[in-house]
Amino acid sequence: MRINKYLAHAGVASRRKAEELILNGKVSVNHTPMTNLGYQVVAGDIVEVNGVAVYNEEPVYYLLNKPRGYISSVSDEKGRQTVMDLMPQVKERIYPVGRLDWDTSGLLLLTNDGEFTNLMTHPRHGVEKVYVAKVEGQANKENLRPLTLGIKIEGKKVSPARYEIIKQDKTKNHSIVSLTIHEGQNHQVKKMFSQVGLPVQKLSRIQYGPLNLEGLPVGQFRRLSKKEVSQLINAAQTK
């Protein structure tokens, strides 16, 4: 396997970033610095990045129904609970594909496949993600229309989104709205609703590409089938 692909499959970085690591002298094979981008890694080779051995495990893919109150990270310097605490049975060195905020629940993918992660998260691939938000105020066509045109968040325009008003509660002055986006900037959905005067009170991601949370209780996870992985890859590659 070509060395940049080996590093990508090991979850170190995308193929392009892996090439940068190689050219910058950060990668060694059998304790010798490696700068040959075409090198083919063979069984028995010891591959290291910054002196740390890298192992190319069999790629695995999981779907987690993340509860609120967990960090989408492998570890946390503040000692907070992470999504890995929900998956102690998993032996592979997996990590989240993108992230959900601490107070956001719902569908989270995890894997040890760096190339897959890049495919799912890079904006140019535009994999659809569907969120359901409880927002303060009365959502309507007028105040939600800017989201369908593409608004600016911190000076950067995001792609147009689709919405559906699920419920309005005039007594409690809140609304339930689903929003479909193609990107995944930090706090993007919260910022989008805030921009149109509808601050988010509660948020959950219910769909990622063709996958949803049907039959999976909060806090539980399952391994994706080969068919589901292929569906996700196809969803990204057809954009």
Name the DSSP letter for residue 43: T
The label of the residue with tokens 């956001």 reads 104
CA distances from 132 to 67, 107, 189, 224 (A): 14, 11, 10, 23
- Which residues in 111-129 are b (16+ Cβ under 10 Å) and which e? bbbbbbbbbbbeeebebeb
| DSSP bridge partners of 223 | 62
101 in active site: yes
Task: Give me the catalytic one of 45, 85, 101, 169.
Answer: 101
Rounded to an integer, what distance in angstroms lies between the CA atom of residue 62 and that of residue 52?
26
| DSSP bridge partners of 153 | 156
Supply the residues annotated as catalytic: 101
